Amino acid sequence: MNGNEFDPENCPFLVVKIGSALLVNPDGSVRREWLEKLVAELGQRHRAGQQIIIVSSGAIALGSRKLGFEKGGRATLSEAQASASVGQIILSSLWAELLASEGIIAAQMLLTLNDLENRRSYLNISATFRRLRRNHVVPVVNENDSVTTQEIRFGDNDRLAARVAQAAGADGVVLLSDIDGLYDRHPAHPDAEIIAEVPKVDGEIEAMADDGGPSSGMGSGGMASKLEAARIANMAGISLAIISGIEDSPLTRFAKGGPGTWFHPQEEQSARKVWLGGLLSGDGQIFLDDGAVRALRDGNSLLAVGVVLIKGEFQRGDVVDILDKDGVIVARGLAEYKSADAQRIIGKNSDEIEAILGHSPRSSLVHRDHMAML
């Protein structure tokens, strides 16, 4: 290891995400030679005892070629879904064949956003990953594109990879891309410089993603979704690195000090908080004044007195987004009141609530033990 404190070669349980642009040529054919070399590297790590999950994009790119769709199959949702269902069967047999050539049993897991946002199915998925791990099986994961809707989909595999790492209890995530890391501005800019390490994904880092600029045109997430993936993984105490998969042996290259961006894991939170923080959105939104935002940041529960507005309908125990008055999300948590009651106590002090609702008040609107700061 040389400078990179995240060593994807030796981390015990690793999620490797492979972007469409690496797997599929612009004409829609598979980059088989490249893939064989990558699988040989993964096979070597697997034999050395590393557990691996592969998150593989490429179904839409592969399927759209077969179907003769334009714009890589992404012109409409229905073309993307048809492409994905045709491409996925090609992708799965490819992975099964190549992993078998390394003596590895492959498993297929096609997941939707809903599957991971619902805590019950999230826990089931988690159990399946744990069981597969015990048998040294390598799961190959993709979004189940053909059943998702526009509103309820990841649409990119970066965030999916981070959520999978959380659910499986992995130690690290590597996003293999056609770019070798995060640059301080669009990499096509002559002064762009690569950032080697990111201690925490904050607003300044997020501003570096410039997905309006030129790209391969095949991937869908861009840099913004990679940064969101880093935030989700890091919050769960998981390291994440963006490295280029273009040249051979990308994991070894990075481990030996090659280029890439390493996003540091944050201190691990409780399993429930990690799940909450990794959700893409809540059932309702609670907007706060500045004082309440400060109180939350100091580790306090959310009281009704600091709330200025509530949107959406939710029941007690549902997930709510907590935002500042400018609409920037600051936390996510489980509501102690249903929305109809919460609306009636906006801005009220705790000692006024009993008279308004006619029953003894709960200690807070969202308790700090059921809240993840974002």
Ligand X SMILES: N[C@@H](CCC(=O)OP(=O)(O)O)C(=O)O
Ligand Y SMILES: Nc1ncnc2c1ncn2[C@@H]1O[C@H](COP(=O)(O)OP(=O)(O)O)[C@@H](O)[C@H]1O
Two structure tokens written together for 265: 């894991």
Determine which residue in the list 16, 53, 54, 59 makes contact with ligand X, applying CB under 6 A.
Answer: 59
* Euclidean distance between CA atoms 274 and 219, whole angstroms: 27
According to the binding rule CB under 6 A, does residue 144 interact with ligand X?
no
Alpha carbons within 13 A on the beta-carbon side of 356: 17
**Residue nearer to ligand Y on the CB measure, 225 or 339:** 225
**Shortest CB 144 distance to ligand Y, Å:** 18
Determine which residue in the list 8, 11, 15, 20 makes contact with ligand X, applying CB under 6 A.
Answer: 20
Alpha carbons within 13 A on the beta-carbon side of 190: 0
According to the binding rule CB under 6 A, does residue 60 interact with ligand X?
yes
**Shortest CB 95 distance to ligand Y, Å:** 17
Determine which residue in the list 41, 79, 156, 210 makes contact with ligand X, applying CB under 6 A.
Answer: 156
* Euclidean distance between CA atoms 10 and 50, whole angstroms: 7
**Residue nearer to ligand X on the CB measure, 7 or 145:** 145
**Residue nearer to ligand X on the CB measure, 96 or 309:** 96
* Euclidean distance between CA atoms 310 and 220, whole angstroms: 33
Q: What are phi and psi of 99, to 5 degrees?
A: -70, -35
Within 179-238, the residues that bind ligand Y by CB under 6 A are 179, 182-183, 185-187, 208-211, 213, 215-216, 219, 221-223
Candidate ranges 38-46, 52-60, 190-198, 297-305; the one touching ligand X (CB under 6 A): 52-60
Helices (H), 243-361: 250-255, 271-278, 290-297, 339-344, 350-357
Q: 202-241 mask for ligand X (x: CB under 6 A)?
A: -----------------xxx--------------------
> 81-87 — which CB contacts under 8 Å span 24+ positions?
81/145, 81/146, 81/147, 81/148, 82/146, 83/59, 84/59, 84/60, 84/145, 84/146, 85/59, 85/145, 85/146, 86/62, 87/58, 87/59, 87/60, 87/61, 87/62, 87/63
**Residue 211 interaction partner, one of ligand Y, ligand X, none, beta carbon < 5-8 Å per kind:** ligand Y
**Residue nearer to ligand X on the CB measure, 18 or 319:** 18
Establish whether 225 is an annotated binding residue.
Answer: yes
Name the nearest CA neighbour of 166 among 19, 330, 4, 277.
277
- Binding-site positions read 17, 57, 145, 157, 177-178, 220-226
Residues that bind ligand Y (CB under 6 A): 19-21, 177-179, 182-183, 185-187, 208-211, 213, 215-216, 219, 221-223
Residues that bind ligand X (CB under 6 A): 19-20, 57-61, 84, 142-143, 145, 156-157, 219-221
